[in-house]
Amino acid sequence: MKPSSAHRRPNVIWIFGDQHRAQSVGYRGDPNLRTPNIDNLARNGMRFDQAVAGSPWCSPFRGALLTGKYPHQCGVTQTPGTLDPSLPTIVKPFRQADYHTAYIGKWHLSGSNSSAHVVPPSHRGGFDHWVGYENCNNQNEVRVSGGRSGALRRLPGYETDSLTDLLLEHLHHHLGGGATERHYQPFFAVLSVQPPHSPYVPPTNPEHPVHPTRNPANIRLRPNVPQVPWVREKAALDIDGYCGMIENLDHNLGRIRDGLKRLGVDEDTWIVFFSDHGDMLGSHGQWEKSSPWEESIRIPFIVGKLGGQERMRTGICDAVLNHVDIAPTTLGLCGLPVPEWMVGRNYAGHCLRNDDPLRARVGEAVGEDPESAYLQQIPRKRHPHSVNKAWRGVVTRDKWKYVCQPGHDWLLHNLDEDPYEQNNLAHNEVYREQRLRCRGLLRAWIEKTGDDFELPPED
C-alpha cells in the first residue's frame, strides 16, 4: 500500500546539464527551441530567474555545489580540479537522516579531463550509489564506471538518454518496483549530463525528434552577437546543435516524470533543475564559459514537482541564488538542518507554503535575502575566444552588475535597462555612485569569504 504524501519524507532529484544558459529555455522566450517539460516544471514550480553560477566553470561550480563552500574555500578553483575527499559533502546530512543517496553522470572533481579516467571510490563524494565518469566531450562515446562493476563500460546510446535510463533503473531497484510502506526509504539522487556542452552534436534517434523546422539558417541570434560574418555563422551553427541537445534533455525530463509516476513517488519528489553555468555562443564575440556576461553566469533554476503541487509555492523569486546556496536549499526542501560548514543560504522558505509541515522545520532564514551574489574567475584561463584574465564581480537583486580585473574597474551594467550588456558604464563618472556601491559589495564578499584579490584603488 502506498503511504500518503502527508506522512512521507520527501525525495529530491537534482537534474542538471553542462553549459545550459538561462536564456535557452522556452519559458524565457528563446525562439529557437521547444522545451515543454521544462516549461511546465517552471509553470508549476518556483523559478529563480536571477540565479547565477558564481564560478562559471565546470569543476569550481561542482565543488561549490556539493560542499556549499565557495571554490577558494573548498579548494576547487579550476578545471580540472580535485575535491578533497576529506571534505564533507551534501551526502553527509542526507545519510545522517537515513536517506539513500545516488549520483549518476558527469563528475569532473577527480582532477582529470580524460574520458578514460576512473574516479576512485574514495573520491565519489560519499554517495551510496555512484555511476559516472570524470569528463567526456563526445556524447556518443561516454564510458562510465561504478555501480556493480568497477570497469569502464560504454553507454549504449546518446549520453542523456542512457544516463536517464540508469537513473530510472536505479530508482526502480531502490524502491523495489514501487513505493510501498514497507520498502520506502527517501532518496536524494543526482542526474548530471554533459549536454548541451560543446561539441554541439544533438542525437539523431528518430524516436526523439527535435524541433522540425529548426536549422542554422533560421536561428535567431541574440542582439549582442557582433556583426562579424564568421562569428555569426559559427554562432548559428553551434546554437542549432545546442538547441537540439536541450530539447533532448527536455524529452528526458518527461521520461523522468513518467518514471516517477509509475513508481508512485511523483507527488513526493522535489525536482531541482539547473545548470553548472551558461555558454556565450558568440555573444560579445565569446564562446563557452568563464566570462562574467549574462550568457555565461546565468543558469536556469527551478524548484518543483512533476506530479502534485500541494503545499508548495509557485511563481518567480527575485533572489540572486548562487552555487553555494543550492545544497542548503535542497536540505531545506526536505526539512533537514543545514550544517554549519555550509556557507550558502537556504531558500527553501520561498518554495514551501505556510501550511507545509516541513516549513516549521526549515524555519525562517535569519535576516533579509542577500543584496548581491558573488562572482569569481580565480585563475587566468587561456582558452580561445574566452577572457584570459582573473576577475571578480557582483550582481545585485536590483539588477546591477559590476566586475573588475586585478587593480582596475572593468564592467558596470544596469541590466534592467541594458539586458544585453551593450552599454558599459564602468568608466562613466555619471554612474560613480553605483560603481562605488557595487565595489563596496564586492569588497564585503571578498572579506567575508576570505578571498584574495586586488581591488581597484579608491576613487
Average pLDDT over residues 203-228: 83
Q: What residues form DSSP beta bridges with 408? A: 405
Q: Would residue 376 count as lying in a domain?
A: no
Has residue 175 got a pLDDT over 90? yes
d(CA 64, CA 451): 14
Average pLDDT over residues 192-217: 82
In the sheet with 400-405, reading across from the earlier edge strand, the strands are: 372-377, 391-396, 400-405, 408-414
Predicted TM-score (pTM) of the model is 0.96
Q: 309-325: per-residue pLDDT in tens?
A: 677 899 999 999 999 99
d(CA 250, CA 231): 28
Q: 54-75: per-residue pLDDT in tens?
A: 999 999 999 999 999 999 999 9
In the sheet with 11-17, reading across from the earlier edge strand, the strands are: 149-154, 143-146, 129-133, 100-106, 187-192, 11-17, 269-275, 302-305, 46-48, 315-317
d(CA 36, CA 249): 11
Q: Would residue 305 count as lying in a domain?
A: yes
Instruction: Specify the CATH number for the domain of residue 445.
Output: 3.30.1120
**Nearest CA-CA partner of 54 in 425, 282, 345, 458:** 345
Cell representation of residue 134: 570524470
Instruction: Tell whether 132 and 43 lie within a shared domain.
Output: yes
Instruction: Tell whether 398 and 352 lie within a shared domain.
Output: no
Has residue 28 got a pLDDT over 60? yes
Q: 358-406: per-residue pLDDT in tens?
A: 776 665 566 689 999 999 999 988 888 888 899 999 999 999 999 999 9
415: domain range? 389-449
The total of structural domains in the chain comes to: 2
CB atoms within 10 A of CB 67: 26
Are β-strands 149-154 and 187-192 bridged in parallel, bridged antiparallel, or unpaired? unpaired
Instruction: Tell whether 64 and 149 lie within a shared domain.
Output: yes
pLDDT at res. 24: 98
Has residue 207 got a pLDDT over 80? no
Distances, alpha carbon 110 to alpha carbons 59, 102, 125, in Å: 9, 17, 10
